[in-house]
């Protein structure tokens, strides 16, 4: 049995990228493994949300995790800030994380380019906090999308460095939990290579989106004037639509449109209509559950309390061991 850990930043609703990148098969995962699913609310402070937004977003992700089928009895579903032991491990790991390696991290470089007015220390040390999330439960498998591959590599580096430094084989090496051969990158609808919350208006399809919203977003997706030669290579925006179809539509549907493309007979309007309907069929059960659970305050509170207790039990054991290994002892 593996210890699986998966995290999501509470900066908006869950979208198809989150679902297919990090949560696909998680019903099976929670039946087979010891699973931790958490809401990375400390991480979200790097962008300075208001207290009201932070609170609302954490609640929304909690609801959506539950709506997606996560069972708080089987898995440990918790809010990161309910487990302050994470912060202590973050401090320990920061002592052995070098500024140079943190500065070379791709997501840090992207962030400082996008937001030169907010280059805070939390952004720089984002990978050590993420490593602390993983190592605090000594997780062995981490379901992530392609965008988190480097962060996971850094978690391995920090864990191994700790083990070497103190001569203890304490932290196992966390590996990606792959749903296929490769880590997934779900594209966006506005020509952006990645579906994401900060990738612009209309880029992401959320599990909570109403059918009409989905239709509007998909019909607006970027296309071109169509192929002119049989078997022509698809430009990125078109490839993106096919990628999305691959995850939500039936294999025959995908094949049908592939053939039309290859024969230069494709009509993007038809393809988008089909894609929108398949996305609606996929998201509808989630949307309905989201509404039901959002109205059940007692269930949400109970799930969070159960998760807090289980997560703290595991985290406090790790901190106890780590303190001992480092040399903090009672006098
Ligand atoms: P976040 O909140 O950006 O995304 C949550 C998860 O969804 C995946 N994901 C995608 N996968 C494929 N295609 C996409 N377009 C796409 N967009 C998002 C992400 O890879 C991620 O797995 N730093 C993390 C949160 C985090 C975490 C952790 C994750 C904090 N600590 C420890 C795992 C382990 C983040 O910002 O993910």
192 domain-assigned: no
- Total structural domains in the chain? 2
Does residue 273 have an active-site annotation?
no
111 has catalytic annotation = yes
**Is 203 in the same domain as 102?**
no
34 with 156, same domain: the answer is yes
Residue 212 domain-assigned? yes
Measured from the Cβ of residue 241, the count of other Cβ atoms closer than 10 Å reads 22
Query: Region 266-280: what's the mean pLDDT?
Result: 97
Q: Is residue 114 part of a domain?
A: yes
The atom of ligand 1 lying closest to the CA of 129 is 31
- Other Cβ atoms less than 10 A from the Cβ of 265: the count is 10
Q: Which helix (H) or strand (E) holds 4?
A: strand 3-8
Q: Does 276 sit in the ligand 1 pocket, CB within 6 Å?
A: no
Are 18 and 146 within one domain? Answer: yes
Task: Answer whether 196 contacts ligand 1 (Cβ < 6 A).
Answer: yes
> Mean of the pLDDT values across residues 252-266?
96
Average pLDDT, the chain: 95
The mean pLDDT value for 206-231 works out to: 94
- Is residue 70 within 8 Å of residue 30, measured between CB atoms? yes
The reported pLDDT for the residue numbered 213 is 97
Answer yes or no: is pLDDT of 47 > 90: yes
Residues 111 and 258 in one domain: no
- Averaged pLDDT, 231-236: 90
163 and 232 both lie in a single domain: no
CA distance 279 to 214: 8
Active site residue 291: no
For residue 27, report the distance from its CA to the centre of ligand 1, in Å.
Answer: 18
Indicate if the pLDDT at residue 189 is higher than 90: yes
- Residue 148 Cα, ligand 1 centroid: separation in angstroms? 6
Establish whether residue 137 lines the binding site of ligand 1, counting it when its CB lies within 6 angstroms of any ligand atom.
no
Nearest ligand 1 atom to the CA of 143 is 22
> What CATH number does residue 31 fall under?
3.40.50.620
* 6 CA → ligand 1 middle, Å: 8
Instruction: Tell me the mean pLDDT in the region 164-186.
Output: 91
Domain co-membership, 95 together with 213:
no
- Give 287-297 pLDDT, tens digit per residue: 999 999 999 99
- Looking at residue 80, the DSSP 8-state letter turns out to be G
Rounded-to-integer distance, Cα 128 and Cα 126, Å: 6
Domain housing 250:
197-291
Do 178 and 106 fall within a single domain?
A: yes
Q: Are 126 and 64 in a shared domain?
A: yes
* pLDDT confidence band for 190 (50 / 70 / 90): confident
33 Cα–ligand 1 center, Å: 20
Residue 86, pLDDT > 90, answer: yes
pLDDT for the residue 310: 98
Q: Express each pLDDT in 51-62 by its tens digit.
A: 999 999 999 999
* pLDDT over threshold 90, residue 199: no
- Looking at residue 234, which CATH number applies to its domain? 1.10.240.10
Q: What are the helix (H) ranges across the chain? A: 16-18, 26-32, 41-44, 51-67, 85-95, 99-103, 106-114, 121-124, 126-135, 149-166, 211-219, 236-248, 251-262, 268-294, 297-326
Residue 280 sits in the same domain as residue 302: no
pLDDT at 27 over 90: no
Q: Where residue 303 falls among pLDDT bands split at 50, 70, 90?
A: very high
Please determine, for residue 180, whether its predicted confidence score (pLDDT) is greater than 90: no
Query: Do 203 and 318 lie in a common domain?
Result: no
277 and 301 housed in the same domain: no
List the structure tokens of 107: 């997501």
This prediction has a pTM of: 0.95
**313 in the same domain as 203:** no
* Pocket lining: 155 vs ligand 1, CB cutoff 6 Å: no
Confidence at 167, pLDDT banded by 50, 70, 90:
very high
């Amino acid at each position: 049995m593996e210890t699986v850990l998966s995290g999501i930043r509470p900066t908006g609703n869950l979208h198809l990228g989150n679902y297919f990148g990090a949560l696909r098969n998680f019903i099976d995962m929670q039946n087979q493994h010891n699973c931790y699913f958490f809401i990375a609310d400390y991480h979200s402070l790097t962008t300075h949300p208001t207290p009201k937004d932070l609170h609302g977003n954490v609640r929304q992700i909690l609801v959506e995790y539950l709506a997606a089928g996560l069972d708080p009895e089987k898995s440990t579903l918790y809010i990161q800030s309910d487990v302050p032991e994470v912060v202590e491990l973050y401090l320990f790991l920061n002592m052995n994380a070098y500024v140079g390696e943190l500065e070379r991290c791709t997501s840090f470089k992207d962030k400082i380019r996008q937001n030169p007015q907010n280059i805070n220390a939390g952004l720089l040390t984002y990978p050590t906090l993420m490593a602390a999330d993983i190592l605090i439960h000594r997780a062995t498998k981490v379901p992530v999308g392609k965008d988190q591959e480097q962060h996971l590599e850094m978690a391995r580096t920090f864990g191994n460095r700790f083990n070497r430094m103190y001569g203890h084989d304490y932290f196992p090496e966390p590996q990606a939990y792959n749903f296929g051969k490769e880590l997934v990158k779900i594209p966006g609808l506005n020509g952006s290579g990645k579906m994401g919350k900060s990738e612009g208006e209309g880029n992401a399809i959320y599990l909570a989106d109403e059918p009409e919203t989905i239709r509007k977003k998909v019909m607006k997706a970027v296309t071109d004037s169509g192929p002119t030669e049989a078997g022509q290579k698809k430009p990125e925006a078109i490839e993106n639509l096919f990628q999305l179809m691959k995850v939500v539509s039936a294999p025959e549907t995908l094949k049908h449109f592939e053939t039309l493309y290859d024969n230069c007979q494709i009509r993007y309007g038809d393809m988008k209509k089909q894609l929108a309907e398949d996305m609606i069929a996929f998201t509808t059960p989630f949307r309905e559950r989201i509404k039901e659970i959002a109205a059940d305050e007692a269930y949400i509170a109970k799930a969070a309390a159960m998760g807090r207790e289980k997560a703290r039990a595991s985290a406090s054991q790790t901190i106890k061991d780590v303190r001992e290994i480092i040399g903090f002892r009672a006098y």
